[in-house]
Amino acid sequence: MKHRKYALVVVALCVFMVIAAFLPYISIPYRVADAETQFKQVYGTDYTNLDTAGMRPVPFSIYDSIFGIQIDESKFSVETNILYLNNGNDSFFFDWYKPAGEGPFPVIIAIHGGGWVIGNKGTGNVMPFNKYFASKGYVVFDLNYGLYDIDEAAEDMGAFGDAFKMIASLISPAYNQSYTIQQQLENIAYFTQVLEQNSTKYHADLNNVFIVGRSAGGHMASIVTLGYKNPLFAGNFSATMTIKGGIWFYPPTNLSKFAGAAFTDSLLTGTLPLAEQYKKFSASFLVGNSTVVPPIIIIHGKIDGLVNYESQALEFYNYATGLGKTCLLVTIPWGGHAFDINFQTYGGQMSTYFIERFMALELGG
Amino acid sequence: MGTLEILKSKNFFQKYLLITLISLVLALFFNAMGVVRIFLITRIAGILAVIAFALLLGQILLIFAKANRTDILGRKILQLNYITIIIICNCFVYLVIAGLLNSFYLDPASSPIYGQLLAMCMFTISLCFGIGLSLTSYFFLSIESAWDF
């Protein structure tokens, strides 16, 4: 009798776990419908009449979540570790995902995340995403950039400090110098100048550039998207590049609302007083301050424990759309931070589905 | 209560085993066919996989409730039930690992083929054990002492 009770408890627990595992999947149709509504509002018939042949046919496929998203590897090649900057202390590289053919191809500049203190291109920046879009005819540049010294930052990072230090030793490049956010952005901006000088060599169509970033990389992408024509960043970026869209995965859009003031204070040290630096490096300020605001798509997990969904994504979305800017927010149900690290999960699939439509629409269908 | 009694009947159990068996076999077939990546086939394969595993879960619970622990054959069926659970749990862990392998292969120029191969193997193994359990239970259903109806 006692054993039967235990068995019942175990069975009840198992059933509960199975149901809990399926809960996110129940929310997917609702979130997909929400994103579809936004696309229809922004693009109208262009969206409904969009030629989606060759794109992912559905936002979520169970088959793909088991066996992986199909990527046609014959349609692109990859060249790794191409030097784009040596500042005397450190060298910075990028990986070039080149579609088959001569191009020029629309450009994706992919910026990795890692809290401005860790991370790397390649394995650290969702390679299947880069490969998928290279196979669809986008030339992808996955680059690394300077990082803030993890030993200095760990003290201010609280509970995350030790975990970040451990990850840093595994994936981050060993830099000799510590880089503030301003210097990190200057690295990325310099890459756009290098790209401008070598656009023919890299088959890059600089009239059609998309900036993709995740987490801290999403923050960097937001500053590039909104700042590349802003006088605050005059002289930093390529003058001929036209950004067609910003694709920001779980980005901090307002650094003053970001947890850990001591941490961000030291990261934001720069040429302006600290309060001004906070503004200069927050998308929530730049969106109202820049004359050129390319269309933006934000993809954010609803239960992100690191970059809060409500205060960073939803508030920005409401503010930007209130200003009349083109901004889309794709909410990933039950999605935490870095939900797309495992690319074939529903978060990775949903985001890919909407991003490829967003880019196609911005490129004129 | 009348409904519950029907659920506990041998007739219902037999039909349930048969439906589970058919859905598991179909899931195996369509998921293998899915390699060609035809949208309709992958769509059917995905739906069948969910249905088959949900039915298999119910079948495992039914066998726990209905296998006769005092009979040697009943105990063997229960053992197979436990083995199936362990195999499926392990396969699901490896499926998650396969997903991560697909995302984290070391070199951008390399292919994620190993992750996909691992996923295919683990998925097939778990379906095969489910089919084995259904088949065994179905064919031994006529031996009354093995069951507690």
Highest mean pLDDT among A54-63, A157-166, B104-113: A54-63
Percent of chain B beyond pLDDT 70?
97
**Between A193 and B9, the higher pLDDT residue:** A193
Highest mean pLDDT among A203-212, A264-273, B6-15, B138-147: A203-212
- Among A54-58, A160-164, A308-312, the minimum mean pLDDT is found in A160-164
What local confidence, expressed as pLDDT, does residue A64 receive? 93
Q: Does residue B1 register a pLDDT over 60?
A: no
The beta-carbon neighbor of B50 closest among A62, A95, A130 is A62
Which H or E element spans position B15?
helix B10-33
DSSP per-residue letters across A253-298:
--GGGSS-HHHHHHHT-SSS-HHHHHHHT-HHHHHHH-S----EEE
| Chain B (127-146) residues lying within 8 Å, Cβ to Cβ, of chain A | none
pLDDT in tens, B42-55: 999 999 999 999 99
Dihedral (Cα; A336, A338, A343, A346), 10-degree rounding: 20
What local confidence, expressed as pLDDT, does residue B74 receive? 92
At a CB cut-off of 8 Å and minimum separation 6, what does A91 contact? Answer: A83, A85
Q: With an 8 Å Cβ cutoff, are A7 and B64 in contact?
A: yes
ipTM of the complex: 0.89
Q: With an 8 Å Cβ cutoff, are B95 and A61 in contact?
A: no
- Assess contact for A209 and A241: CB atoms under 8 A: yes
Give chain A's mean pLDDT. 92
Average pLDDT of span A324-344: 94
Q: Does residue B87 register a pLDDT over 70?
A: yes
What local confidence, expressed as pLDDT, does residue A2 receive? 66
Domain count, chain A: 1
pLDDT bucket at A260, cuts 50 / 70 / 90: low
Q: How many helices (H) and strands (E) does chain B have?
A: 5, 0
User: Quick check: A342 contacting B, CB < 8 Å?
Assistant: yes
Domain of A202 in residue numbering reads as 29-362
**Between A119 and B109, the higher pLDDT residue:** A119
What local confidence, expressed as pLDDT, does residue A248 receive? 98
What local confidence, expressed as pLDDT, does residue A318 receive? 97
pLDDT bucket at A1, cuts 50 / 70 / 90: low
Q: Which residue has the tokens 């300077």?
A: A146
pLDDT in tens, A263-290: 888 899 888 999 999 999 999 999 999 9
Q: With an 8 Å Cβ cutoff, are A342 and B107 in contact?
A: no
Q: Does residue B15 register a pLDDT over 90?
A: yes
| Chain B (47-76) residues lying within 8 Å, Cβ to Cβ, of chain A | 47, 49-50, 57, 61, 64
Say which DSSP state A125 is in: G
- Chain A nearest-CA distance from B42, in A, is 6
Q: Does residue A160 register a pLDDT over 80?
A: no
Residue A7 covered by a domain: no
Question: Letter for the amino acid at A213?
Answer: G
Residue A11 covered by a domain: no
pLDDT bucket at B3, cuts 50 / 70 / 90: low
Cross-strand bridge partners of residue A213: A111, A248
Give chain B's mean pLDDT. 89
Cross-strand bridge partners of residue A101: none
- Chain A nearest-CA distance from B86, in A, is 13
- Assess contact for A195 and A238: CB atoms under 8 A: yes
Average pLDDT of span B81-87: 93
Dihedral sign from CA coordinates of A175, A178, A184, A189? negative
- Among A28-37, A247-256, B65-74, the minimum mean pLDDT is found in B65-74
Identify all chain A residues contacting B107, using CB atoms and an 8 Å cutoff.
80, 122
- Assess contact for A69 and B98: CB atoms under 8 A: no
pLDDT bucket at B125, cuts 50 / 70 / 90: very high
Dihedral sign from CA coordinates of A346, A349, A352, A354? negative
Angle at A26 between CA A25 and CA A31, to 5 degrees: 85
Q: With an 8 Å Cβ cutoff, are A80 and B107 in contact?
A: yes
Report the candidate in A202, A223, A32, A228 with the shortest Cα–Cα distance to residue A103.
Answer: A202
The pair of three-digit structure tokens given for residue A198, joined into one six-digit string: 């070598």
What local confidence, expressed as pLDDT, does residue B115 receive? 87
pLDDT in tens, B59-81: 998 999 889 999 999 999 999 99
Identify all chain B residues contacting A78, using CB atoms and an 8 Å cutoff.
108-109
What local confidence, expressed as pLDDT, does residue B108 receive? 79
Q: With an 8 Å Cβ cutoff, are A66 and B116 in contact?
A: no
Angle at A116 between CA A69 and CA A220, to 5 degrees: 70
Say which CATH number the domain at A209 has.
3.40.50.1820
C-alpha of A195 from chain center: 20
Dihedral sign from CA coordinates of A234, A236, A237, A243? negative
